[in-house]
Amino acid sequence: MKKKYIVKHQYDFDRIIKKRKRKQNSSFVIYSENNNLPYARYGISVGKKLGNAVFRNRKKRQIRSIIDNLEKSYLKNQDYIIILREKGKYLDYQQLKKELQSLIIKGKDQA
């Protein structure tokens, strides 16, 4: 995934989360906001309480891979913040993919 498709700055995370437009299930919370760009951007957050740095980075790589595979499911002109919850910690890659995909599809139906 190219760097321009990533939400990196803390003030962007804060702005998107403050809008409180969210979708959630037992494994993820996804915040979204419109942007003025012709593409979608995403940010991933895995809290320190879920595990050590190696574990958190592994989960972020898995989520990035899922996003790359599901990119066509995302709406354009949106910024997304994806937060992994405690129950997502125990899921393997296939289960994470299923949970995130169902949440994205649910979000598209509401939009």
What is the tens place of the pLDDT at every residue in 16-69? Answer: 999 888 899 999 999 988 888 888 889 999 999 999 999 999 999 999 999 888
Asked whether the predicted pLDDT for residue 108 surpasses 80, the reply is no
Cα separations in angstroms, 49 against 23, 24, 52, 87: 22, 19, 8, 12
Give percent of the chain above pLDDT 70.
Answer: 89
Using the predicted structure, report yes or no on whether residue 111 has a pLDDT greater than 60: no
- 73 contacts 104 by C-beta, under 8 angstroms: yes
The predicted pLDDT at position 92 comes to 92
Domains of the chain listed by start with CATH number: 3-102 (3.30.230.10)
